[in-house]
C-alpha cells in the first residue's frame, strides 16, 4: 500500500499541469491513512485508486460515485494487471457500483464473473492512468481530461 501511494503521488506531481493541479498544492508532505477495518488491503492493486484519489483531491474534481476500480500503476502511468478480479468485481456489484475500471490485461478474467453480474456492470479496460482519470473523475465545467 505504501508503495502504491508513493507511486501515485510521484505520478500526480509529475503531471500536475495536465491534471489541472496548482503546483503549490503539491508542496510539503502528505499523509494518506488507510484504516485496517474489515477489508484486507494488500499488494499494489490499489495503485490506480490511490492516484485517482490524489488527483481528485488536488484538482477539486469529484470521483463518480458509481465507479469502482482496481489496477497497479507504474511511474510512467501504465496500468498493470492484478489478481483476484472476480472477487473484486463481485464486491463492486454487492456495493451497488455500476462501472468498474480494470487493467486491459485482465479483460479475459471477466469470463470467470457470472453473466448476470457482467450484464449489470459496465467494464472499462484501460492501459493508462490518463484513461482511468478520464472515466473516473467528474468533468470540470470548462474542460475534460485529455486521454493520451
82 Cα distance to chain centroid:
13
Is 45 catalytic? The answer is: yes
Determine which one of 2, 27, 45, 65 is catalytic: 45
What cell does 79 get? Answer: 496500468
State the burial class of residue 38 (Cβ atoms within 10 Å of its Cβ: 0-12, 13-18, 19+): exposed
CA distance 136 to 69: 9
CA distance 35 to 55: 20
Determine which one of 4, 56, 59, 88 is catalytic: 88
Active site residues: 45, 88
Amino acid at each position: 500500500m505504501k508503495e502504491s501511494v508513493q507511486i501515485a503521488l510521484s505520478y500526480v506531481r509529475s503531471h500536475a499541469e495536465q491534471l489541472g493541479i496548482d503546483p503549490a498544492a503539491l508542496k510539503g508532505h502528505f499523509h494518506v491513512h488507510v484504516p485496517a477495518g474489515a477489508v484486507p488491503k494488500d499488494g499494489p492493486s490499489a495503485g490506480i485508486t490511490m492516484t485517482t484519489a490524489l488527483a481528485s483531491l488536488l484538482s477539486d474534481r469529484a470521483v463518480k460515485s458509481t465507479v469502482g476500480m482496481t489496477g497497479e500503476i507504474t511511474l510512467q502511468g501504465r496500468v498493470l494487471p492484478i489478481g483476484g478480479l472476480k472477487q473484486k468485481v463481485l464486491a463492486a456489484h454487492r456495493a451497488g457500483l455500476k462501472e468498474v475500471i480494470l487493467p486491459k490485461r485482465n479483460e479475459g478474467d471477466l469470463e470467470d464473473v457470472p453473466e448476470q453480474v457482467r450484464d449489470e456492470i459496465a467494464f472499462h479496460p484501460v492501459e493508462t492512468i490518463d484513461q482511468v482519470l478520464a472515466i473516473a473523475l467528474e468533468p470540470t465545467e470548462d474542460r475534460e481530461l485529455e486521454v493520451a
